[in-house]
């Protein structure tokens, strides 16, 4: 019998918690190979056409990745790929490649690679960390374009045949975002930092991961048994029998906890002393309704309608939209379905509206601003939602509202849409509930002016934190400033919720704060009526609520509002969660 290989312990940076044991899948890091050849002047138009077709396909693929990421873990995480779209749509970059065809008479693959490397190397020399890391975006997009030029649409990761732990020198954010969790159970890389896009994606999709291991890709062989402890940052090659036994018991304990959580599926999200919270889900497609119920959520607190508008050559018709919204309502009935009107900007309509790209689309012509400026597009969607509301479980909400004037204008267009449907003899719920998303500080500060014109608030914490603290949450240099427990955020949340109750309307929370079990007691204590989370997070959130007393949550909220630092608040939240639901802390470590 062969000797057991010696155990090798490597320490890196744990960027996504969890423990997995499996076989290593070694991802080669060499660039996509292509044949360099000379071309004649007559071949240049064909090469330009190939390049433009590859750009179109690349743009479509990036939009598709954004949709999947947005549906699974939120639109803010999907925003990471806006930088990739900027590369594809950079006319200076594209035109330099086209000029290079005439100047060098080489095929487009060779010219593209040379131009992209020049851009990436220039970015890599910049002292600014954020701009320097954009070199990775340029290379990631270039690899995708090269694959599309060659006709190869799938990367090696997509071709894995069995569950493995991916080991690589580095991984691009798009590779991480498209990982199949049934196949990729964890990953480890030589390079990377806790705030890299790849690390952010790993945490968001829940794959245990370690980065910064320096030479793991040359120390591991294909098929080696390896262990990843994403919480501690330990990567172990050929783990010993003793270590496997120890971690095996830990995994069994976690599996037991997860099994127990599934038993809560049909139980209410209610505290020990009777405070009820409506636990809803954030989804993007009607077929996701099955996941909502399977994970124990009740209804949908945020249906992202944007996916109907992306990756298309034309806008969806009223009938197309109606079929989707009606399908959603049928699948969820009698539970509520809150449909958010399109939260997209001019930068996402380039293919069929020919609008100019914006330097800062997150604060530009988007969401309700776009809709009010394009009433025909907006009213088409409003009519479709109204028709679906005939089932009486559909509600509607407007995103990125910043003033009461926007609410009044949107409501006026909604009334016009109702009148048009009456004239056409179409059925709808004339008493449909209308709400707004509070995700801009100005909206939170004038919530008392908005409240009389709506029936609920849905507080979008991701953008509220970003805009209030002036922190681009996908900017690695300042990611440490993104603090949901900042005193300013807590005061805005408390003010908004209190005003809603004074006006006899309810307030929900949708965003990462709602799905973070540590922060659930705080949000309950602040008076949130509803929490809307990714379906997979619902069991943990429900468990915390059911182990908690509302009086404990109120006391926590009072202490948090009197605190002066985000860390102090987070420590208070962790302490209470550890007290009432220690099993959840185990799952998060």
Residues 432, 438, 439, 445, Cα dihedral to 10°: 150
DSSP classification of residue 80:
G
User: Which of the following CATH numbers is that of domain 278-432: 3.30.70.20, 3.40.50.410, 1.10.287.3510, 3.20.20.60?
Assistant: 3.20.20.60
Could you tell me if 437 and 396 are in contact, meaning their C-beta atoms sit under 8 angstroms apart? no
Dist. CA 486–CA 324, nearest whole Å: 39
For the chain, the straight-line distance linking the first and the last C-alpha, in angstroms and rounded, comes to 37
Tokens of 191: 């390079």
Residue 67 CA, distance from chain mean position: 9
pLDDT top residue among 364 and 504: 504
Tokens of 220: 């591991």
Question: Which residues, at least 6 apart from 159, have a Cβ–Cβ distance to it below 8 Å?
Answer: none
Q: Which of 63, 84, 164, 197 is catalytic?
A: 197
Q: Which of 84, 295, 486, 510 is catalytic?
A: 510
Would you call 197 a catalytic residue per the annotation? yes
Residue matched to tokens 């185990």? 586
Dist. CA 203–CA 180, nearest whole Å: 14
Dist. CA 540–CA 295, nearest whole Å: 10
pLDDT band at 350; cut points 50, 70, 90: very low
Percent residues over pLDDT 90 in the chain: 56
Confidence (pLDDT) at 30? 47
Confidence (pLDDT) at 346? 42
Would you call 453 a catalytic residue per the annotation? no
Most confident by average pLDDT, 4-18, 208-222, 270-284: 270-284
Query: Coil, strand, or helix at residue 433?
Result: coil
State the average pLDDT over residues 539-557: 97
Query: Coil, strand, or helix at residue 343?
Result: coil
Convert 310-336 to b/e letters by CB count within 10 Å (16 or more is b).
Answer: bbeeebbebeebbbbbbebbebbeebb
Angle between helices 44-73 and 129-150 in degrees, nearest 10: 120
Question: pLDDT tens across 148-195, in order?
Answer: 887 765 556 666 778 999 998 888 777 777 778 888 999 999 888 776
Beta-carbon count within 10 A of 267 CB:
12
User: Which of the following CATH numbers is that of domain 41-150: 1.10.3470.10, 1.10.10.10, 1.10.3720.10, 1.10.274.10?
Assistant: 1.10.274.10
Q: Looking at the predicted structure, is the pLDDT value of residue 28 above 70?
A: no
Question: pLDDT tens across 439-467, in order?
Answer: 999 999 999 999 999 999 999 998 999 99
Percent residues over pLDDT 70 in the chain: 88
CATH number corresponding to 438-533+552-589: 3.20.20.60
8-28+156-239 maps to CATH 3.50.30.10: yes
Residue 2 CA, distance from chain mean position: 47
Residue matched to tokens 């707004």? 436
Question: pLDDT tens across 33-45, in order?
Answer: 577 888 888 889 8
Domains 8-28+156-239 and 438-533+552-589 share a fold: no
Q: Looking at the predicted structure, is the pLDDT value of residue 71 above 90?
A: no
Enumerate the domain spans of the chain: 8-28+156-239, 41-150, 278-432, 438-533+552-589
Phi and psi at residue 484, to the nearest 5°: -60, -20
Dist. CA 391–CA 285, nearest whole Å: 18
Phi and psi at residue 2, to the nearest 5°: -65, 145
Phi and psi at residue 427, to the nearest 5°: -80, 145
Confidence (pLDDT) at 523? 98
Question: pLDDT tens across 191-226, in order?
Answer: 887 767 677 778 767 789 999 898 888 788 888 999
Q: How confident is the prediction for the chain on average, in pLDDT?
A: 87
Dist. CA 237–CA 26, nearest whole Å: 13
pLDDT band at 326; cut points 50, 70, 90: very high
The string of DSSP letters for 4-47 reads PPPPEEEE-EEEE--EEEEEEEEPP-SPPP----B--GGGHHHH
Instruction: Label each residue of 268-294 as H, E or C.
Output: CCECCCCCECEEEEEECCHHHHHHHHH
Confidence (pLDDT) at 360? 63
Confidence (pLDDT) at 264? 94
Q: List 25's β-bridge partners, or say none.
A: 166
Selection from 480, 482, 475 nearest residue 131 by Cα: 475
Confidence (pLDDT) at 129? 59
pLDDT top residue among 509 and 58: 509
Selection from 210, 169, 173, 131 nearest residue 31 by Cα: 169
């Amino acid at each position: 019998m062969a000797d057991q290989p010696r155990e090798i312990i490597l320490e890196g940076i744990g960027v996504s918690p969890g423990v997995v044991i499996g076989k290593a899948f070694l991802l080669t890091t060499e660039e996509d190979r292509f044949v360099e050849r000379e071309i004649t002047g007559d071949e240049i138009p064909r090469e330009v056409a190939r390049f433009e077709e590859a750009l179109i396909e690349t743009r479509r693929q990036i939009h598709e990745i954004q949709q999947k990421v947005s549906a699974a873990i939120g639109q803010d995480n999907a925003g990471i790929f806006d930088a990739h779209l900027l590369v594809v749509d950079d006319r200076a970059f594209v035109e330099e490649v086209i000029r290079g065809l005439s100047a060098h008479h080489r095929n487009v693959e060779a010219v593209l690679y040379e131009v992209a490397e020049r851009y990436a190397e220039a970015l890599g020399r910049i002292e600014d960390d954020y701009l320097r890391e954009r070199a990775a975006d340029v290379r990631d997009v270039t690899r995708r374009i090269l694959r599309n030029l060659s006709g190869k649409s799938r990367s090696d990761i997509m071709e894995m045949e069995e569950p493995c732990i991916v080991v690589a020198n580095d991984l691009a954010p798009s590779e991480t975002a498209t990982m199949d969790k049934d196949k990729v159970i964890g990953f480890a890389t030589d390079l990377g930092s806790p705030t890299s896009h790849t690390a952010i994606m790993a945490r968001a999709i829940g794959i245990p991961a370690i980065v910064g291991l320096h030479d793991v890709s040359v120390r591991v062989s294909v098929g080696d048994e390896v262990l990843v402890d994403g919480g501690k940052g330990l990567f172990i090659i050929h783990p010993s029998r003793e270590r496997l036994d120890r971690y095996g018991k830990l995994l069994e304990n976690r599996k037991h906890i997860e099994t127990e959580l599934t038993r809560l599926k049909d139980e209410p999200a209610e505290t020990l002393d009777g405070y009820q919270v409506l636990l809803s889900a954030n989804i993007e497609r009607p077929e996701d309704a099955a996941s909502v119920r399977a994970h124990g959520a009740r209804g949908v607190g945020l249906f992202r309608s944007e996916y109907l508008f992306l990756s298309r050559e034309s806008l969806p018709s009223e009938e197309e939209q109606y079929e989707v919204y009606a399908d959603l309502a049928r699948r969820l009935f009698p539970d509520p379905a809150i449909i958010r009107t399109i939260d997209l900007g001019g930068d996402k309509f380039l293919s069929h509206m020919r609008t100019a790209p914006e330097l800062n689309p997150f604060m530009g012509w988007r969401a309700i601003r776009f809709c009010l400026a394009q009433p025909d597009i907006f009213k088409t969607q409003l009519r479709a939602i109204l028709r679906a509301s005939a089932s009486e479980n559909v509600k509607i909400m407007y995103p990125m509202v910043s003033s009461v004037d926007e609410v009044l204008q949107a409501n006026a267009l909604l009334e016009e849409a109702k009148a048009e449907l009456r004239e056409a003899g179409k059925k709808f719920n004339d008493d449909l509930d209308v709400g707004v998303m509070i995700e801009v500080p100005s909206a939170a500060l004038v919530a008392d002016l908005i409240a009389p014109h709506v029936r609920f608030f849905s507080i979008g914490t991701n953008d509220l934190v970003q805009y209030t603290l002036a922190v681009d949450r996908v900017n690695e240099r300042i990611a440490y400033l993104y603090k949901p427990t900042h005193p300013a955020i807590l005061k805005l949340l408390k003010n908004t919720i209190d005003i809603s109750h004074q006006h006899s309307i309810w307030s929900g929370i949708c965003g990462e704060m709602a799905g973070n079990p540590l922060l659930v007691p705080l949000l309950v204590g602040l008076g949130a009526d509803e929490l809307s989370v990714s379906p997979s997070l619902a069991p943990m959130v429900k468990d915390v609520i059911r182990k908690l007393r509302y009086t404990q949550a109120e006391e926590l909220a009072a202490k948090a509002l009197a605190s002066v630092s985000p860390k102090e608040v987070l420590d208070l939240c962790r302490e209470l969660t550890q007290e009432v639901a220690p099993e959840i802390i185990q799952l998060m470590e």
